[in-house]
Structures are given as C-alpha cells and as structure tokens.
C-alpha cells in the first residue's frame, strides 16, 4: 500500500499542477475578447470525439494489458515480451477501421451538425490525427502503468499536453499563428507528440521491445485474451461514449449548440478539480490489483477498495465545497464572459456525480482486473442503454443542464450495481461511518464559510472563504482520524526530515 500511496500522492500533485495549467488555458479561452465561445466549444468537441474514436479503435487492448501483464512479466524477458507489439498492432488496425467509417459517415455528421455547429464540419478531417494520437498514447500509457511509471504518464497527459496547448494559445495571441484554422490544425497533433515522447522513454529505458514472434504466454492465453478484449472493449466503449455523449447532443440539439458546449465544458473542467486525485490513484493501483488477483491476495484488494473510497471521498467533498463557495465570485473577478455564469447549475450536478463516482472507490478497476471482468461489459451496456436516450430527452426538455442530470442518474445506478456485485461476490464494500462523517464535515464547514462571507467579492475574499473552510475541514479529518494514509504520510515526512537533519 505504501507504493500505491507514494505514487498516488506524487501523481496527485502532478495532476493538480496540470489542472492549474489547464485552468490558465481555460481563462485564456474564455476571457472577454479572446477566443469565441463557439471556438472554445469546438476544442472540447475535438476532445469528446477523440475519446469516442479511442473507445472504438482500442479493441479492448488496455484491458488485456491490465489483466495479463503480470503473466508476461513473470515468464518472459523484455526482449521476448510481445504483449505491447500485438496490442499496438491491433489498436492501429482498429483505428484504420474507424478512419474508414469516419470517411463514409461525413455526410451524416454534416446533416446533424451543420446548423448548430458548422465549425465542426469545417475541421472534420483534423479530428482523425487528434484521435489517433490519443488512441496510441492511451495504449502505451496502460503499459507504462504496469511498469509503475504512472507519474510519468500523468506528467505527460496532465501537464505536457496542457503546456503544448498554452504554447499554441500564446502563439495565436501573438499573431504567429495567424488564424484559428492554423491553431486547430496544430492542436490536433498534440497527442501524437506525447506518444512519441512516451515511446522514446520506454525504449531508451528498456521497458519495452518489439517482436513479432509469438511467445508461449500469448499462445497459452490467446483465447482468454480475445474473450477479455471483446467483452471489455464493448463495455469500455459504451462507458466512454456515455461520458462524452453530452457534448455531442448539446452541439446537435440546442440552438447555438457549439456555444453551449463551451459552457458545459467550463463546468466539466472546473468539476474535474474534484476528480484530480482519482487518476493518480487508478494509475498507481492497476498493477497491484492485477498482481493481487493473480496471487489471490483478497485482503489486499479489500484494503485498496476501502482506502481508495475514503481518500477519494475526502478529496472530492473538500474540492466540491471550495469550488462551489467561490464559483460566481471567481467568474466575476477574473472576469470571464457573462455567458459562463450559466455553468453554475451544471457544475453542481456534475460535481455531485464526481463525488458519487469517487466515493464508491475503485470498483471498476477491481472488477476489470478480476475473473469477473465480463460483468464490466454488462454494466457498460446497461449504462449506455440508460444514459444515451435519457441524455437526449433531458437535453430537449431541460436544455444545457439535461446531460449533467442524466449522467448523475445513470452513474448513481451504475455504481450502485457494481458495488452490490462486489458485495455479493466478494463480501467487499468500501463504506463505513467515516464516509458519513466526511460528508457531514464538508457540509458544516461549507455552511460556516458561506454564511460568514456570502456577500463579499474579490480575490481577497476568495482566499478568506477558502481558508475558513479548509482549516476546520483538515482539523476534522485529523481529529476524526478519517483516513490512516494521512498519518502515514506525516510519519514518512517526519522520518525524512530527521534523516536530513
């Protein structure tokens, strides 16, 4: 657990630094007089559609890496390990099929989006290099996680990607990139740059090699690998599509849809602050979970499940409260365009969904690395069947908040089913009285800060409100001993300080 904790903490700092950079980019995108709301919406449509391309093109290869990497690691030398060769080859073949389908679907996409989001059609073919880069990077990232390089991959995805975006924005403002057309074309190549960097590192550090010789491990497990890939690809695809479907529906259904994609994206980006530690915890936990299932170390799995739940719940409740306290003040103080005030109700719903998802722990990763991985397929199909029509109906009836409400309902049921499954099969559940105390603590600290400073505006008051919330919240976490990891981190820091002195 100490290795997971260490990597999670470092990754969380990396992710938060990346988010700070991302918010700087969001400020540049949304500040009065810079990019239009439609252009900002188009950038986020690129991300949404690229994620769909990845979901279809990966053909379940990340799941194969998560599940079978320990068997390759234990039985083959690096030069004979053909796992990455075949997974990358399969993924590239999958993207070729996606590209062919995309070419023939252009007329259909044009009919759906030409009225409310015409810029998407203008840059349609530039979606493909962006999606290809994301697809390749995600497969390499899955392999790097198994090699315990989660900090590096988070640095590339969360920091370097945003830094490249910042550079492009600055070049655009400086007139070096003279038009938005040039900006979006260069932006579409960013994930390909990350892929080359990660590939170069893994090669020079001798973590990977490429061989087309079929190993005995591949021969032994190929049928199970194909079955796993088919199920997890189907389940994973529908989950990922459901996560980005809202942007596609908003762009297609609502008048000036591309503008409202930008409003929704701002709420989503701010809400992503809440979920920042989750990525680090997932990246650090995948390899230990795979190993624990292989070794039948159920107590370790149970411990990871409980720790991930309470740690993520503490982070998510605190960050949701801090952002909610300062949301309107922040938009008015920066200032952003008045259009983005509409993001507040979306943030409240999306933020609540993030708390729900994080508070239920690593249930998806535990199931995906277990012998019950087929269950991920069935729950994924259920999520798709529930969320897609619900998103469309609620968007038509409620407008821009419809997708957020749909996702909350769908993920509440989705996580409930997975949690019940783990309880019935493995007698594992992540909650305790500490989960209740965490939520109550967040509510009390929020109300204290809100009623003391609700009429105040400006940077000073944003800092004061945040300080008045944070001090009693952290004190409550310590006094109630909500997470043992806090004390482990403090002890580790004390020991290092003593050694240093």
Three-state SS for 31? strand
**pLDDT at position 487:** 58
Q: Poorest-confidence range of 74-78, 84-88, 286-290, 296-300?
A: 286-290
- The answer, yes or no, to whether residue 493 has pLDDT greater than 50, is no
- For the four alpha carbons of 63, 64, 70 and 76, in that order, the dihedral sign comes to negative
CB-CB contact of 258 with 251 (8 Å): yes
> For 290-324, what is each residue's pLDDT tens digit?
788 878 888 888 888 888 888 889 989 999 999 99
> What tokens were used for 107?
């007329």
CB-CB contact of 297 with 24 (8 Å): no
Mean pLDDT rounded to a whole number for the chain: 83
State which of 53-62, 108-117, 145-154, 480-489 shows the largest mean pLDDT: 53-62
Confidence at 379, pLDDT banded by 50, 70, 90: confident
> What tokens were used for 29?
């995108």
Confidence at 347, pLDDT banded by 50, 70, 90: very high
> What tokens were used for 12?
């969380």
Confidence at 246, pLDDT banded by 50, 70, 90: confident
Q: Poorest-confidence range of 172-181, 255-264, 310-319, 481-490?
A: 481-490
CA distances from 224 to 71, 122, 249, 355, 366 (A): 13, 43, 37, 35, 18
Q: Poorest-confidence range of 310-324, 387-401, 474-488?
A: 474-488
Q: Which H/E stretch holds residue 419?
A: helix 402-426
Query: Residue written as tokens 């400086």?
Result: 174
Asked if the bond preceding 335 is cis, omega within 30° of 0, the reply is: yes
- The answer, yes or no, to whether residue 199 has pLDDT greater than 90, is yes
Q: For the chain, which residues make up each domain, given as ranges?
A: 2-431, 439-501
**pLDDT at position 466:** 93
Three-state SS for 71? helix
- The answer, yes or no, to whether residue 84 has pLDDT greater than 70, is yes
- The answer, yes or no, to whether residue 497 has pLDDT greater than 50, is no
- Tell me which DSSP letter residue 371 carries: T
**pLDDT at position 237:** 67
- The answer, yes or no, to whether residue 500 has pLDDT greater than 60, is no
The pTM score is 0.67
* Pick from 236, 286, 221: nearest CA to 59: 236
> For 159-197, what is each residue's pLDDT tens digit?
999 999 999 999 988 888 878 889 999 999 999 999 999
**pLDDT at position 89:** 93
Mean pLDDT for 459-484 is 91
- Percent of the chain beyond pLDDT 70? 89
Q: Residue 336's beta-bridge partner residues?
A: 31
Query: Residue written as tokens 């320990």?
Result: 70
- The answer, yes or no, to whether residue 494 has pLDDT greater than 80, is no
- Percent of the chain beyond pLDDT 90? 27
- The answer, yes or no, to whether residue 4 has pLDDT greater than 90, is no
**pLDDT at position 119:** 79
State which of 333-337, 359-363, 369-373, 380-384 shows the largest mean pLDDT: 359-363
- The answer, yes or no, to whether residue 465 has pLDDT greater than 70, is yes
**pLDDT at position 468:** 94
CB-CB contact of 196 with 139 (8 Å): no
Mean pLDDT for 388-398 is 86
Confidence at 228, pLDDT banded by 50, 70, 90: confident
Which one is predicted more confidently, 185 or 80? 185
**pLDDT at position 109:** 80
**pLDDT at position 328:** 85
Distance CA 377, CA 239 (A): 9
Three-state SS for 336? strand
**Helix/strand/coil (H, E, C) string of 294-318?**
HCCCHHHHHHHHHHHHHHHHHHHHH
Confidence at 6, pLDDT banded by 50, 70, 90: low
């Amino acid at each position: 657990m100490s290795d997971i904790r260490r990597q999670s903490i470092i990754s969380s700092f990396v992710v938060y630094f990346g988010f700070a950079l991302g918010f700087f980019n969001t400020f540049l995108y949304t500040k009065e007089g810079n990019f239009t709301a439609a252009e900002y919406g188009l950038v986020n449509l690129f991300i949404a559609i690229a994620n769909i391309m990845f979901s279809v093109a990966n053909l379940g290869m990340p799941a194969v890496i998560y599940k079978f990497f320990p068997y390759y690691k234990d039985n083959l030398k690096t030069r004979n390990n053909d796992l990455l060769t075949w997974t990358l080859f399969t993924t590239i073949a999958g993207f070729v099929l996606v590209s062919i389908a995309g070419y023939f679907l252009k007329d259909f996409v044009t009919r759906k989006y030409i009225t409310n989001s015409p810029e998407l059609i203008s840059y349609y073919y530039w979606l493909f290099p962006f999606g290809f880069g994301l697809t390749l990077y995600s497969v390499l990232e899955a392999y790097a996680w198994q090699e315990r390089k989660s900090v590096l991959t988070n640095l590339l995805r969360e920091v370097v990607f945003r830094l490249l975006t910042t550079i492009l924005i600055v070049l655009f403002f400086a007139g070096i990139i003279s038009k938005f057309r040039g900006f979006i074309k260069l932006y579409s190549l960013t994930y390909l740059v990350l892929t080359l960097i990660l590939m170069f590192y893994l090669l020079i550090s001798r973590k990977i090699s490429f061989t087309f010789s079929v190993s005995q491990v591949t021969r032994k497990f190929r049928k199970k690998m194909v079955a796993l890939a088919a199920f997890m690809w189907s389940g994973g695809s529908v989950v990922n599509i459901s996560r980005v479907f809202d942007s596609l529906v908003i762009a297609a259904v609502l008048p000036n849809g591309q503008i409202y994609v930008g409003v929704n994206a701002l709420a989503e980006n701010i809400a992503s602050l809440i979920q920042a530690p989750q990525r680090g915890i997932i990246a650090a936990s995948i390899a230990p979970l795979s190993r624990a299932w292989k070794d039948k170390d159920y107590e370790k799995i149970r411990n990871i499940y409980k720790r991930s739940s309470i740690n993520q719940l503490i982070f998510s409740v605190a960050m949701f409260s801090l952002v909610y306290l300062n949301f309107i003040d922040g938009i008015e103080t920066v200032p952003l365009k008045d259009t983005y005030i509409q993001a507040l109700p979306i943030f409240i719903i999306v933020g609540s969904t993030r708390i729900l998802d994080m508070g239920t722990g690593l249930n998806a990763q535990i199931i995906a690395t277990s012998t019950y991985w087929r269950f991920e397929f069935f729950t994924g199909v259920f999520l798709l069947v529930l969320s897609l029509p619900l998103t469309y109906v609620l968007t038509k009836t409620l407008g821009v908040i419809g997708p957020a409400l749909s996702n909350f309902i769908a993920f509440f049921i989705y996580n409930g089913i997975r949690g019940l499954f783990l309880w019935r099969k493995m007698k594992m559940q992540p909650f305790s009285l500490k989960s209740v105390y965490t939520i109550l603590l967040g509510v009390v600290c929020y109300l204290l800060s809100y009623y003391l400073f609700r009429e105040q505006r400006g940077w000073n008051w944003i800092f004061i409100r945040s300080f008045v919330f944070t001090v009693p919240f952290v004190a409550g976490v310590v006094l109630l001993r909500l997470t043992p990891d806090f004390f482990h981190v403090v002890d580790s820091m004390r020991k290092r300080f003593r050694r240093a002195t």
